[in-house]
Amino acid sequence: MARATALALRGWGRVAPNPLVGAVLLRDGTPVADGFHAEYGGPHAEAAALARCDDARGTTCVVTLEPCAHHGKTPPCADALIAAGVTRVVIAGRDPGAEARGGVERLRAAGVEVTIGTEAREAAAMNAAYLWGVARPERPFVALKLATSVDGFIADVAGGSKWISGEAAREFVHWLRAGFDAIGVGRRTVEVDDPALTVRGAVVPRNVPLRVVFARDGMVPSDGRLIATASETATLVIVGSGVAGRAAAQLGRFGVRVLGADGLGDALRVLRGEGVRSLLVEGGGQLAGALLDAGLVDRLYWIQSPIWLGGGVTAFGTRNAVPLGEALPWSVVERRALGPDTLLVVDRELCLPAS
């Protein structure tokens, strides 16, 4: 399953809103073929693996998601596995998708042995945005990415935050951006950092992520990179509904869309209404703190760099302190080195599909 998951991840940035799926065919415990869902609308993982296997009769298929039972853009994977003579299917988790689900029952009805739940948490974490998208239509899956010094600052006392983290971390961030529907920042980050919020890594996303600025007061500087490039890369500014008309008049001429919302929860609802299923928030501290305080962060990507600033802009300017006994533990999704930096990925709550 670890191998199937690693394969599935190769579809990152290319398959959304479909899930990431990888499949491995084994004979007597030895992998004989594998495949993954590489492109939206293209072959599913199981079909890709079967296409690379001369004779799948008697094999076991290990797959990160329940094989589909529907005729969508491609024929049902459950039928393909049955027709190929696969005798056992091991899946990480059910597909909650209304159209596609039901593969397990179809496989079992055909006499295929099915095991569900192998490395279910890992698979659910990998497809968090997809699972969220199916189960929670009221807002996008929200991930917060922060790069901090080892003592927890996102910027020095002068506000400078460029190059806290190293090259490997920056590459990772570009990879990360490619897999999200939208990338968001607070108005102050636009002022201070003048970010481009574009994807400039190895993965070219099928859909360029929408750039979103949260600016309650509507005051977004019009001389920055975001506004200057708004005619090339879709850019949305979410402002308080009372100032939406004024902000639209100011920013609309640069090709920026302006939408009004009352508070962060409402802003997220508006985004979901715009088709955004997953949002990567990249700062700053105030927006991060406000989202965390409101319980609106589902995942945290924390990049910690081995530099000591001794002061500066705190990463987590949250205000809702709780006693240790009442603190909610987050679950660790990933921990790894990014060159000299350290990545920690934690989820507030995993959206596990029913088995």
Instruction: Give the residue numbers annotated as catalytic, written as ranges.
Output: 46
Q: Which is nearer to ligand AOF, 100 or 164 (CB)?
A: 100
Tell me the HSE value of 254 on the side-chain side, using a 13 A CA sphere.
Answer: 22
Q: Which is nearer to Zn ion, 91 or 258 (CB)?
A: 91
Q: Min. distance of Cβ 325 from ligand AOF in angstroms? A: 41
Q: Which residue is nearest to ligand AOF (CB)?
A: 72
Choose which of 16, 24, 56, 77 interacts with ligand AOF (CB under 6 A): 77
* Sheet of 60-63, strand order: 30-36, 22-27, 60-63, 88-91, 113-116
User: With CB under 6 A as the contact rule, which of the stretches 68-76, 244-252, 278-286, 301-309 interacts with ligand AOF?
Assistant: 68-76
**Separation of alpha carbons 94 and 221, rounded Å:** 46
**Separation of alpha carbons 245 and 232, rounded Å:** 23
User: With CB under 6 A as the contact rule, which of the stretches 94-102, 109-117, 243-251, 328-336 interacts with ligand AOF?
Assistant: 94-102
Name residues contacting Zn ion, limited to 130-169 (CB under 5 A): none
**Separation of alpha carbons 4 and 214, rounded Å:** 38
Give φ, ψ of 283 to 5 degrees: 120, -175
Numbers of helices and strands, H then E, in the chain = 12, 16
Answer yes or no whether residue 100 interacts with ligand AOF by CB under 6 A: yes
Answer yes or no whether residue 284 interacts with ligand AOF by CB under 6 A: no
**Which amino acid is it at 317?**
G
Q: Which is nearer to Zn ion, 53 or 68 (CB)?
A: 68
Fill in the DSSP letter of residue 252.
G
Fill in the DSSP letter of residue 315.
S
Per DSSP (E only), the strands in 187-286 are 210-214, 235-240, 257-261, 278-281
Compose the 16-55 pattern: x for residues touching ligand AOF by CB under 6 A, - for all others. --xx-x---------------x------xxx---------
**Residue 19 touches which of ligand AOF, Zn ion, none (CB < 5 to 8 A by kind)?**
ligand AOF
Question: End-to-end CA distance of the chain, in Å?
Answer: 17
Q: How many residues bind ligand AOF (CB under 6 A)?
A: 17
Q: How many CB atoms lie within 10 A of CB 192?
A: 17
Choose which of 34, 95, 119, 282 interacts with ligand AOF (CB under 6 A): 95
User: With CB under 6 A as the contact rule, which of the stretches 69-77, 119-127, 205-213, 336-344 interacts with ligand AOF?
Assistant: 69-77
Answer yes or no whether residue 1 interacts with ligand AOF by CB under 6 A: no
Compose the 21-50 pattern: x for residues touching Zn ion by CB under 5 A, - for all others. -----------------------x------
Q: Which two tokens stand for residue 205?
A: 């996303």
Cis peptide before 284 (omega within 30 of 0): yes
Answer yes or no whether residue 106 interacts with Zn ion by CB under 5 A: no
Answer yes or no whether residue 77 interacts with Zn ion by CB under 5 A: yes
Fill in the DSSP letter of residue 312.
S
Contact partners, residue 42, CB within 8 Å, separation at least 6: 73, 74
User: Interface with Zn ion by CB under 5 A: which residues?
Assistant: 44, 68, 77
User: Interface with ligand AOF by CB under 6 A: which residues?
Assistant: 18-19, 21, 37, 44-46, 65, 67-68, 72-74, 77, 95, 97, 100
